[in-house]
Chain A
Amino acid sequence: GNSVTQMEGPVTLSEEAFLTINCTYTATGYPSLFWYVQYPGEGLQLLLKATKADDKGSNKGFEATYRKETTSFHLEKGSVQVSDSAVYFCALTSYQKVTFGTGTKLQVIP
Protein backbone atom coordinates (compact mmCIF):
# COMPACT_ATOMS: atom_id res chain seq x y z
CA GLY A 1 0.00 0.00 0.00
CA ASN A 2 0.90 3.65 -0.13
CA SER A 3 2.85 5.29 2.67
CA VAL A 4 4.39 8.63 3.58
CA THR A 5 7.29 9.02 5.98
CA GLN A 6 8.16 12.37 7.51
CA MET A 7 10.99 13.39 9.77
CA GLU A 8 9.95 13.32 13.38
CA GLY A 9 9.52 16.52 15.27
CA PRO A 10 9.35 18.74 17.00
CA VAL A 11 11.69 20.94 15.03
CA THR A 12 12.75 24.09 16.83
CA LEU A 13 14.39 26.91 14.85
CA SER A 14 15.31 30.50 15.46
CA GLU A 15 13.62 33.15 13.37
CA GLU A 16 15.24 33.59 9.92
CA ALA A 17 16.79 30.11 10.01
CA PHE A 18 16.62 27.75 7.02
CA LEU A 19 13.99 25.03 7.22
CA THR A 20 13.98 21.56 5.74
CA ILE A 21 11.36 18.95 6.59
CA ASN A 22 12.05 15.63 4.93
CA CYS A 23 9.32 13.56 3.31
CA THR A 24 9.63 10.29 1.41
CA TYR A 25 6.89 8.13 -0.02
CA THR A 26 6.00 4.78 -1.51
CA ALA A 27 3.09 4.55 -3.90
CA THR A 28 1.67 2.67 -6.83
CA GLY A 29 1.02 4.54 -10.01
CA TYR A 30 1.85 8.20 -10.39
CA PRO A 31 0.88 10.01 -7.21
CA SER A 32 0.42 13.71 -6.70
CA LEU A 33 2.24 15.10 -3.69
CA PHE A 34 1.16 17.72 -1.18
CA TRP A 35 2.17 19.66 1.88
CA TYR A 36 -0.56 20.71 4.28
CA VAL A 37 -0.19 22.99 7.29
CA GLN A 38 -2.22 22.99 10.48
CA TYR A 39 -1.87 26.14 12.57
CA PRO A 40 -2.76 25.94 16.27
CA GLY A 41 -6.51 25.71 16.70
CA GLU A 42 -7.20 25.69 12.97
CA GLY A 43 -8.03 23.15 10.28
CA LEU A 44 -5.72 21.72 7.65
CA GLN A 45 -4.77 24.06 4.83
CA LEU A 46 -3.17 23.13 1.55
CA LEU A 47 0.28 24.74 1.45
CA LEU A 48 1.57 23.52 -1.92
CA LYS A 49 1.37 20.64 -4.33
CA ALA A 50 3.15 18.98 -7.27
CA THR A 51 1.47 16.62 -9.68
CA LYS A 52 4.35 15.09 -11.64
CA ALA A 53 8.03 14.37 -11.44
CA ASP A 54 10.34 17.41 -11.31
CA ASP A 55 7.46 19.78 -10.61
CA LYS A 56 8.14 22.37 -7.93
CA GLY A 57 5.32 23.53 -5.71
CA SER A 58 5.69 26.86 -3.95
CA ASN A 59 3.64 29.12 -1.69
CA LYS A 60 4.33 31.70 1.03
CA GLY A 61 8.09 31.23 0.62
CA PHE A 62 7.88 27.44 1.01
CA GLU A 63 9.04 25.15 -1.78
CA ALA A 64 9.11 21.41 -2.48
CA THR A 65 10.27 19.51 -5.55
CA TYR A 66 8.79 16.18 -6.66
CA ARG A 67 11.79 13.85 -6.93
CA LYS A 68 10.71 10.54 -8.47
CA GLU A 69 14.21 9.05 -8.45
CA THR A 70 14.50 9.46 -4.68
CA THR A 71 10.73 9.27 -3.99
CA SER A 72 10.99 12.44 -1.97
CA PHE A 73 9.16 15.76 -1.55
CA HIS A 74 11.14 17.71 1.02
CA LEU A 75 9.73 21.01 2.25
CA GLU A 76 12.10 24.00 2.41
CA LYS A 77 11.97 27.65 3.38
CA GLY A 78 14.88 30.01 3.33
CA SER A 79 13.94 32.15 6.31
CA VAL A 80 11.27 31.05 8.78
CA GLN A 81 9.14 33.38 10.86
CA VAL A 82 7.44 32.92 14.21
CA SER A 83 4.13 32.82 12.34
CA ASP A 84 5.28 29.63 10.54
CA SER A 85 4.96 27.69 13.81
CA ALA A 86 2.52 24.89 13.00
CA VAL A 87 2.27 21.20 12.20
CA TYR A 88 3.21 20.29 8.63
CA PHE A 89 1.85 17.18 6.90
CA CYS A 90 3.20 15.58 3.76
CA ALA A 91 0.58 13.67 1.74
CA LEU A 92 0.04 11.87 -1.53
CA THR A 93 -2.96 11.07 -3.67
CA SER A 94 -3.09 7.96 -5.81
CA TYR A 95 -6.20 6.40 -7.36
CA GLN A 96 -8.44 8.72 -5.38
CA LYS A 97 -7.00 7.67 -2.02
CA VAL A 98 -5.12 10.16 0.10
CA THR A 99 -2.31 9.09 2.43
CA PHE A 100 -0.88 11.46 5.02
CA GLY A 101 2.33 11.37 6.97
CA THR A 102 2.26 11.68 10.74
CA GLY A 103 3.10 15.37 10.74
CA THR A 104 6.10 17.42 11.85
CA LYS A 105 5.66 20.12 14.45
CA LEU A 106 7.67 23.26 13.78
CA GLN A 107 8.33 25.80 16.50
CA VAL A 108 10.04 29.06 15.54
CA ILE A 109 11.42 31.12 18.38
CA PRO A 110 12.20 34.86 18.16
Chain B
Amino acid sequence: ETGVTQSPTHLIKTRGQQVTLRCSSQSGHNTVSWYQQALGQGPQFIFQYYREEENGRGNFPPRFSGLQFPNYSSELNVNALELDDSALYLCASSLRADQETQYFGPGTRLLVL
Protein backbone atom coordinates (compact mmCIF):
# COMPACT_ATOMS: atom_id res chain seq x y z
CA GLU B 1 0.00 0.00 0.00
CA THR B 2 1.60 3.25 -1.13
CA GLY B 3 1.23 6.39 0.93
CA VAL B 4 0.35 9.90 -0.14
CA THR B 5 2.99 11.48 -2.32
CA GLN B 6 3.40 15.08 -3.41
CA SER B 7 5.49 16.83 -6.02
CA PRO B 8 7.59 18.82 -6.20
CA THR B 9 9.12 18.88 -2.72
CA HIS B 10 10.31 22.47 -3.05
CA LEU B 11 9.46 25.28 -5.43
CA ILE B 12 10.49 28.90 -5.88
CA LYS B 13 8.27 31.32 -7.79
CA THR B 14 8.02 35.06 -8.19
CA ARG B 15 5.07 37.26 -7.35
CA GLY B 16 2.34 37.19 -10.00
CA GLN B 17 3.28 33.79 -11.37
CA GLN B 18 1.09 30.71 -11.34
CA VAL B 19 1.94 27.37 -9.72
CA THR B 20 0.60 23.81 -9.89
CA LEU B 21 1.20 21.35 -7.08
CA ARG B 22 0.45 17.66 -7.41
CA CYS B 23 -0.72 14.95 -5.07
CA SER B 24 -1.13 11.22 -5.47
CA SER B 25 -3.61 9.77 -3.00
CA GLN B 26 -3.16 6.65 -0.96
CA SER B 27 -4.36 3.61 -2.85
CA GLY B 28 -8.15 3.25 -2.71
CA HIS B 29 -8.80 6.70 -1.27
CA ASN B 30 -11.42 8.74 -3.14
CA THR B 31 -11.33 11.99 -1.19
CA VAL B 32 -8.50 14.52 -1.11
CA SER B 33 -8.06 17.68 0.93
CA TRP B 34 -5.51 20.46 0.56
CA TYR B 35 -4.05 22.60 3.34
CA GLN B 36 -1.73 25.58 3.62
CA GLN B 37 0.66 25.59 6.56
CA ALA B 38 2.52 28.82 7.20
CA LEU B 39 5.72 28.64 9.23
CA GLY B 40 4.96 28.05 12.90
CA GLN B 41 1.23 27.71 12.29
CA GLY B 42 -1.28 24.91 12.00
CA PRO B 43 -2.56 23.79 8.62
CA GLN B 44 -5.37 25.88 7.15
CA PHE B 45 -8.05 24.02 5.17
CA ILE B 46 -8.17 25.13 1.52
CA PHE B 47 -10.67 22.70 -0.01
CA GLN B 48 -11.70 19.10 -0.41
CA TYR B 49 -12.51 17.07 -3.52
CA TYR B 50 -14.62 13.96 -3.86
CA ARG B 51 -15.32 12.27 -7.20
CA GLU B 52 -13.76 15.18 -9.06
CA GLU B 53 -16.07 17.75 -7.47
CA GLU B 54 -15.23 20.34 -4.84
CA ASN B 55 -16.84 19.15 -1.62
CA GLY B 56 -16.04 21.90 0.86
CA ARG B 57 -13.90 25.04 0.93
CA GLY B 58 -12.12 27.12 3.53
CA ASN B 59 -11.53 30.86 3.52
CA PHE B 60 -9.28 31.06 0.48
CA PRO B 61 -9.82 33.29 -2.58
CA PRO B 62 -10.83 31.89 -6.00
CA ARG B 63 -7.26 32.13 -7.27
CA PHE B 64 -6.76 28.91 -5.30
CA SER B 65 -8.34 26.17 -7.38
CA GLY B 66 -8.09 22.43 -7.67
CA LEU B 67 -8.69 19.38 -9.77
CA GLN B 68 -9.22 15.75 -8.93
CA PHE B 69 -8.71 13.15 -11.63
CA PRO B 70 -10.47 9.80 -12.18
CA ASN B 71 -7.50 7.99 -10.66
CA TYR B 72 -7.99 10.22 -7.55
CA SER B 73 -4.74 12.09 -8.00
CA SER B 74 -5.18 15.83 -7.68
CA GLU B 75 -3.71 19.25 -8.32
CA LEU B 76 -3.71 22.53 -6.47
CA ASN B 77 -3.38 25.60 -8.69
CA VAL B 78 -2.60 29.05 -7.39
CA ASN B 79 -2.78 32.03 -9.72
CA ALA B 80 -1.32 35.51 -9.28
CA LEU B 81 1.03 34.41 -6.52
CA GLU B 82 1.52 36.74 -3.57
CA LEU B 83 4.37 36.82 -1.07
CA ASP B 84 2.01 35.55 1.65
CA ASP B 85 1.41 32.39 -0.37
CA SER B 86 4.83 31.18 0.78
CA ALA B 87 4.05 28.12 2.89
CA LEU B 88 4.05 24.34 3.10
CA TYR B 89 1.16 22.90 1.09
CA LEU B 90 -0.17 19.60 2.32
CA CYS B 91 -2.56 17.20 0.74
CA ALA B 92 -4.37 14.48 2.62
CA SER B 93 -6.38 11.57 1.29
CA SER B 94 -9.18 9.64 2.90
CA LEU B 95 -12.04 7.31 2.19
CA ARG B 96 -15.44 8.92 1.68
CA ALA B 97 -16.82 6.51 4.24
CA ASP B 98 -14.25 7.68 6.79
CA GLN B 99 -13.36 11.20 5.78
CA GLU B 100 -12.15 12.01 9.23
CA THR B 101 -9.17 9.68 9.07
CA GLN B 102 -6.84 11.54 6.77
CA TYR B 103 -3.42 10.47 5.59
CA PHE B 104 -1.07 13.34 4.88
CA GLY B 105 1.65 13.68 2.31
CA PRO B 106 5.04 15.20 3.14
CA GLY B 107 4.09 18.52 1.56
CA THR B 108 5.44 20.94 -1.03
CA ARG B 109 7.30 23.94 0.28
CA LEU B 110 6.57 26.99 -1.87
CA LEU B 111 8.60 30.17 -1.66
CA VAL B 112 7.30 33.27 -3.44
CA LEU B 113 9.85 36.01 -4.04
Which residues of A pack against B, CB within 8 Å? 4, 32, 34, 36, 42-46, 49, 51, 89, 91, 93, 95-103
Q: Does B7 contact A (CB under 8 A)?
A: no
Residues of B within 8 A of A42 (CB): 106
15 contacts between A and B (CB under 8 A): A32-B100, A43-B105, A43-B106, A43-B107, A46-B102, A89-B43, A93-B99, A96-B56, A96-B99, A98-B35, A98-B45, A100-B43, A102-B40, A102-B41, A103-B42
Residues of B within 8 A of A51 (CB): 100
Q: Does B104 contact A (CB under 8 A)?
A: yes
> CB distance A96 to B104 under 8 Å?
no
Q: Which of A32, A96, A100 has the most CB of B within 10 A?
A: A96
Contacts of B46-60 to chain A: CB distance below 8 A: 48, 55-56, 58
Which residues of B pack against A, CB within 8 Å? 4, 33, 35, 40-45, 48, 55-56, 58, 90, 92, 99-107
Cβ of B6 to closest chain A Cβ, rounded Å: 9
Residues of A within 8 A of B48 (CB): 96
Bound Cα distance A101, B58 (Å):
15
Residues of B within 8 A of A32 (CB): 100
A101's contact among B42, B56, B106, by CB below 8 Å, is which?
A: B42
> CB distance A103 to B33 under 8 Å?
no
> CB distance A49 to B100 under 8 Å?
yes
Q: Which 4 A-B pairs have the closest CB atoms?
A: A100-B42, A44-B104, A96-B56, A43-B106
Cβ of B92 to closest chain A Cβ, rounded Å: 8
Residues of A within 8 A of B45 (CB): 97-100
Residues of A within 8 A of B55 (CB): 96
